[in-house]
A and B are shown apart, each in its own frame.
Chain A
Amino acid sequence: MTNSINEILETDVILVIGSNTTEAHPVTGYRIRQAVQNGKKLIVADPRKIELVKYADLWLRHRPGTDIALLNGLAHVILRDDLWDKQFVAERSEGFEEFKKTVAKYTPERVAEITGVEAGLIEQAARMYGKAEKATIIYAMGITQHASGTHNVMAVANLAILTGNVGRPGTGVDPLRGQNNVQGACDMGCLPNYYPSYQPVDDPHVQSNFERFWQAKLPQEVGLTVTEMTDAARQGKIKCMYIMGENPVLSDPDGNRVVEALQALEFLVVQDIFLTETAQLAEVVLPAVTFAEKNGTFTNTERRIQLVRKAIDTTSSAKPDWQIIIELAQKMGHFWQYPGGPEQIMEEIARCAPLYGGISHHRLEKGGIHWPCPTPGHPGTAYLHADGFARGKGKFHSVEHVPPAEEPDEEYPLLLITGRMLYHFHTGTMSRRSHLEELRSEELAMMHPQDAEAYGIKDKDRIVVESRRGKVTTRVQVTDFVPPGSIFMTFHFKETPTNVLTIASTDPICKIPELKVCAVKIRVPFPGQARRHPESFSCH
């Protein structure tokens, strides 16, 4: 996020796109709602009738996969009606002329055709956002998990730059991170192309710095992403994987291919707290401990680094992940010594990751700090780009609407949208082992009443959902939460591993899989029966 969560309360207009905030990031959802209660304006752009729609001034129900068209359409109206921040654009951006040419094509009428949102609504939304003194855009995986994910994000950024909504409190573009430490994992260089603090691996200067710092020779070429790894493993190019705390069998797209890939490996080590679906495929499983049993730090979606404190001792022989890695390094014959534990590791991080330069556990005792925090005396940075962009000037990227990789056709007539729900988390490894399970213990695929009627499906009926890649069974919830022609499923329930359906086609730049949409068809195995004997289908 360029700005912090509680700045939402200070903004005038909030545009939420591709984020079911109240379920996926509840506390951020509270803030949006509070802002609305305090009279702030809210625009929701989402194909689904999410909870926030109730509070929204405007709801743009665009077709899944048409975010760019919609965002460009908004920019078009803002330019046309002269609502853009000319001074900001002149002084702090580049690429404007080309951008202007691109969006000129996105007249409200044309956008209406692509997105299915009325032209009038698009104009209203553009004016509401454009006229605001302070406006912020909140988005999440709903717009990044597409083949065009990177372009989607650029289109969002364009809008913010165009209206000068950057670098002030209560403005900005705010992606919401799905998991507690996605931000931190990226910051730490758990990416194929970056060392910690986003230092490129293919920069020889950076490489030699790290070689000196770690006293080791380092590989030069940029590595593979998750999806590429799967392919490489299936082709036999990758022989060995070491997986720490992840469950790609359920969380990654096209789950059947993931299983094939992992089975093709010569050697698989999985380190986790539970015997997950992925761990079951491993040759060696190393038991790790939970957040409550170790010290360390997490970095949240607003770049705030906060302490994790050990609350209880582990009662088994399981060990914290950091300790396992150190011991493994030692067994490999490397002299890794961290007697000071996580605190000392953070000291090392501070020395090689400039964004974390001023961070120490000692400082964090007094509360979280937002990076960048280059020096021990630096207070941290709640909002970015106060006096300039990282790359000098904000660049407009001219991006065009491209249809999703797989669209419904005659054979697979429905669009599948995937996402999260409030009571569970990710692949359910943790949340389903808590009392939250009592609130919700199985997948309920959401279908619009129109579709349900067309298929003769009733609430709680059992159906088979099938894509070109696999099939799952699930029960149905009939609701107008989803638009007609699509169904919505989560990936929390191993009994219904939704990701065997999804497509592994990835965004060409960022390699984010197109999890959000793919084409499916459904079958009703026993029409009507589920209603007569609901208990015979219960999951337990």
Chain B
Amino acid sequence: MRRKVLVCGGTGCVSSRSREVYDALESELAGRGLGEQFELKYTGCHGFCEQGPLVLVEPEGYFYCRVTKEHVAKLVDSLQEGSVYEDLLYKDPDTGNRVKTRNDVPFYQKQKRLVLKNCGLINPESIEDYLNAGGYRTLQKVFKMSPDAVIDEVKKAGLRGRGGGGFPTGLKWEYARKARGDKKYIICNADEGDPGAFMDRSILEGDPHRVLEGMLTAGYAIGAGEGFVYIRAEYPLAVRRLDIAIKEAREKGFLGENILGSGFNFDIHIKQGAGAFVCGEETALIESIQGNRGMPRPRPPFPAVKGLWDRPTVVNNVETLANLPIIFDMGAEAYAAIGTEQSKGTKIFALTGKIKNTGLVEVPMGITLREIIFDIGGGIPNGKKFKAVQIGGPSGGGLSAQHLDLPIDYDSLIDAGAMMGSGGLVVMDEDTCMVELARFFLSFTRMEACGKCTPCREGNTRLLEILERIVEGRGELQDLDLLESLGHTIIDTSLCGLGQSAPNPVLSALKYFRPEYEMHVKNKLCPAGVCKALLSYRIIEEKCKACGLCLKHCPVGAITGKKGEPHRIDPEMCKKCGECLKKCPFGAIVLAGGDGFGQGQSDHKRNHVSRTQALYNLKSGGRERH
């Protein structure tokens, strides 16, 4: 058997120059005449982006991290020898031991990679690879069943939408199947607008045929003849691989007329979106495909009844669709055995933030946050303390240490004030300020609203402005109540999921980190030391040797002190330029949360003059002519 050398071609590794590694390996192998012995592949994402570029050697399973082209020559030596290239093996940060194979790496040990099974192992640009890995096999099964039976199977499996809402997929299909329409459509939602999320992209880049197979299954079940993949234009690699996959599938007869002799016709087209967050919302997405401004419309009628061009349409997320081949492969019962009572199967998370092992992980539903963050993610770097985790991106909520042992599924997260969302998971350590964090998410969402609903359009900006006030030390106690009541109104009165979830980061933070907010407002203190305006330069008396250097260098004369006694900084006058800190030879000056004070008047002045002039210039009354 030929040995395989798999170079990760996921976006993470590509940006750490895995292509160079691949090219170098190729020429090196060819140069040594080893091209026949080794099968070199450029694959989809392995998930462990933190350690990229990654190279996997099969069948031994040697797992090399942070490979650069300089390593290539030695790497090929080891390949030739059949030995292990120790230096490139993963080093367990706790024990300091080198780990030989991928399965021994703790990052992979607790995962359950079903959807991501092929990612990193096959060449996503080759349908042969996918077929060899068992791809398109389930279609034979599906086409032998009646569409109703297919829907029943999905219901039995308990699959719920991975796009955020968690709506039971089988039920959605049933509505669409029952709805009348001369045509029906399947849409694969690959908009993935959450900043920090990249699971859909990784699936499409690493295993695009899996998604096509899922779409075919869905299409067969509801009686659709056409499918669309709505994908953001910022994912050029995914678009390209998908495009290749569709072409290959057409050539092999998996798309087109009378697929596998079943009499079922189905074709798939790619629609590229401009990448507005709200276009991921299903009704806005449909508008966008129809060539209109991506603006949500009220539901009902649901797309399953009246969607694309007013015809019954199922919108499913990439990951949802990618689960289907698994269900029909292992059977609904086996699938339903994974996960919790109400949430079945696995979920992919994108681990980012203050965590050692950033990357893509697939875990069974019901796993605890602790397992994800500490066992898989390797915990918090630099010995810092875990503070919070934001799940579900800008629409999700922040959870605190008290939730570490919460088994996560759709419902437990909602109960805790967060949501699954698309699966972004941002970990925060003690240096993160929760007010600042909420501010960050709102500054994103407030510019993403489509503008239709007043609460979402105007309200999120007001939430942001209040948070800015707090961050700048001008907050008042009633601001916290205002945040809460306004947040709830926005959720209560907005039309679509964006407005209904935009205040989540603030509200959950207020719920779990209220003391931190109060500190900002009452004591003008930022415990995490993040909010600039609330920090001040102070001289630690014990350390001050009264050398006078700082006094001399302060450009505004804010420092006083006589010879022999510790100097002082007048916080009112200090401009926070930091000169003194740089100059102090004894490290006696620190920047610390303290008795901050208001700063930076950001009230917007109204510019009346030009407007009024414009009005006066118009003649009044019934105008004269001739």
Q: Do A and B come from one complex?
A: yes
Hey, which bits of chain A sit against chain B, CB under 8 A?
433-435
On whether the beta carbons of B623 and A433 are closer than 8 Å, the reply is no
On whether the beta carbons of A435 and B626 are closer than 8 Å, the reply is no
In the bound complex, CA of A332 to CA of B623 (Å): 41
Interface bits B481-511 vs A (CB < 8 Å: 1, else 0)? 0000000000000000000000000000000
- B571-626 with Cβ < 8 A to chain A: 623, 625-626
Residue of B nearest to A438 (CB): B625
In the bound complex, CA of A433 to CA of B625 (Å): 8
Residue of A nearest to B626 (CB): A433
Instruction: List, in ascending order, chain A residues with CB within 8 A of B623's CB.
Output: 435
A-B contact pairs, 5 of them (CB 8 A): A433-B625, A433-B626, A434-B625, A435-B623, A435-B625
Residue of B nearest to A39 (CB): B310
**From residue B370, how far is it (CB to closest CB) to chain A in Å?**
57
In the bound complex, CA of A433 to CA of B624 (Å): 11
Instruction: List, in ascending order, chain B residues with CB within 8 A of A434's CB.
Output: 625
**From residue B317, how far is it (CB to closest CB) to chain A in Å?**
32
Interface bits B129-161 vs A (CB < 8 Å: 1, else 0)? 000000000000000000000000000000000
Residue of A nearest to B310 (CB): A39
**From residue B600, how far is it (CB to closest CB) to chain A in Å?**
49
In the bound complex, CA of A143 to CA of B623 (Å): 40
**From residue B361, how far is it (CB to closest CB) to chain A in Å?**
49
Residue of A nearest to B625 (CB): A433
Instruction: List, in ascending order, chain B residues with CB within 8 A of A435's CB.
Output: 623, 625
A-B pairs with lowest CB-CB distance, top 5: A433-B625, A433-B626, A435-B623, A435-B625, A434-B625
B interface residues, tally (CB under 8 Å): 3
**From residue A460, how far is it (CB to closest CB) to chain B in Å?**
26
**From residue A539, how far is it (CB to closest CB) to chain B in Å?**
14
**From residue B384, how far is it (CB to closest CB) to chain A in Å?**
60
Instruction: List, in ascending order, chain B residues with CB within 8 A of A433's CB.
Output: 625-626
Hey, which bits of chain B sit against chain A, CB under 8 A?
623, 625-626
In the bound complex, CA of A501 to CA of B583 (Å): 95
In the bound complex, CA of A434 to CA of B623 (Å): 10
**From residue A15, how far is it (CB to closest CB) to chain B in Å?**
25
In the bound complex, CA of A167 to CA of B623 (Å): 48
In the bound complex, CA of A434 to CA of B624 (Å): 10
**From residue A317, how far is it (CB to closest CB) to chain B in Å?**
21
In the bound complex, CA of A435 to CA of B626 (Å): 11
In the bound complex, CA of A433 to CA of B626 (Å): 8
Instruction: List, in ascending order, chain A residues with CB within 8 A of B625's CB.
Output: 433-435
**From residue A446, how far is it (CB to closest CB) to chain B in Å?**
28
**From residue B52, how far is it (CB to closest CB) to chain A in Å?**
53
Instruction: List, in ascending order, chain A residues with CB within 8 A of B626's CB.
Output: 433
Residue of A nearest to B623 (CB): A435
Residue of B nearest to A434 (CB): B625
In the bound complex, CA of A434 to CA of B625 (Å): 8
In the bound complex, CA of A302 to CA of B625 (Å): 35
In the bound complex, CA of A83 to CA of B145 (Å): 44
In the bound complex, CA of A434 to CA of B626 (Å): 10
In the bound complex, CA of A433 to CA of B623 (Å): 12
In the bound complex, CA of A532 to CA of B119 (Å): 67
In the bound complex, CA of A435 to CA of B618 (Å): 14
In the bound complex, CA of A395 to CA of B118 (Å): 78
**From residue B400, how far is it (CB to closest CB) to chain A in Å?**
53
In the bound complex, CA of A165 to CA of B350 (Å): 65
**From residue B623, how far is it (CB to closest CB) to chain A in Å?**
7
**From residue A264, how far is it (CB to closest CB) to chain B in Å?**
33
**From residue A11, how far is it (CB to closest CB) to chain B in Å?**
21
**From residue A311, how far is it (CB to closest CB) to chain B in Å?**
12
In the bound complex, CA of A447 to CA of B583 (Å): 82
**From residue B254, how far is it (CB to closest CB) to chain A in Å?**
35
In the bound complex, CA of A433 to CA of B622 (Å): 13
In the bound complex, CA of A435 to CA of B625 (Å): 8
Residue of B nearest to A437 (CB): B625
In the bound complex, CA of A435 to CA of B619 (Å): 14
**From residue A273, how far is it (CB to closest CB) to chain B in Å?**
14
In the bound complex, CA of A468 to CA of B625 (Å): 38
**From residue B258, how far is it (CB to closest CB) to chain A in Å?**
31
In the bound complex, CA of A435 to CA of B624 (Å): 10
In the bound complex, CA of A466 to CA of B67 (Å): 85
In the bound complex, CA of A222 to CA of B625 (Å): 45
**From residue B618, how far is it (CB to closest CB) to chain A in Å?**
13
In the bound complex, CA of A403 to CA of B187 (Å): 56
In the bound complex, CA of A435 to CA of B623 (Å): 9
In the bound complex, CA of A508 to CA of B476 (Å): 89
**From residue B311, how far is it (CB to closest CB) to chain A in Å?**
13
**From residue B229, how far is it (CB to closest CB) to chain A in Å?**
29
In the bound complex, CA of A250 to CA of B117 (Å): 83
**From residue B181, how far is it (CB to closest CB) to chain A in Å?**
14
**From residue B524, how far is it (CB to closest CB) to chain A in Å?**
59
**From residue B283, how far is it (CB to closest CB) to chain A in Å?**
19
**From residue B178, how far is it (CB to closest CB) to chain A in Å?**
22
**From residue A144, how far is it (CB to closest CB) to chain B in Å?**
35
**From residue B372, how far is it (CB to closest CB) to chain A in Å?**
51
In the bound complex, CA of A430 to CA of B623 (Å): 16
In the bound complex, CA of A180 to CA of B626 (Å): 26
**From residue A316, how far is it (CB to closest CB) to chain B in Å?**
16
In the bound complex, CA of A130 to CA of B275 (Å): 48
In the bound complex, CA of A446 to CA of B362 (Å): 67
**From residue B274, how far is it (CB to closest CB) to chain A in Å?**
26
In the bound complex, CA of A109 to CA of B614 (Å): 63
In the bound complex, CA of A100 to CA of B202 (Å): 71
**From residue A37, how far is it (CB to closest CB) to chain B in Å?**
12
In the bound complex, CA of A413 to CA of B205 (Å): 66
In the bound complex, CA of A264 to CA of B202 (Å): 91
**From residue A540, how far is it (CB to closest CB) to chain B in Å?**
11
In the bound complex, CA of A336 to CA of B187 (Å): 78
**From residue A93, how far is it (CB to closest CB) to chain B in Å?**
37
**From residue B266, how far is it (CB to closest CB) to chain A in Å?**
27
In the bound complex, CA of A434 to CA of B622 (Å): 11
**From residue A54, how far is it (CB to closest CB) to chain B in Å?**
16
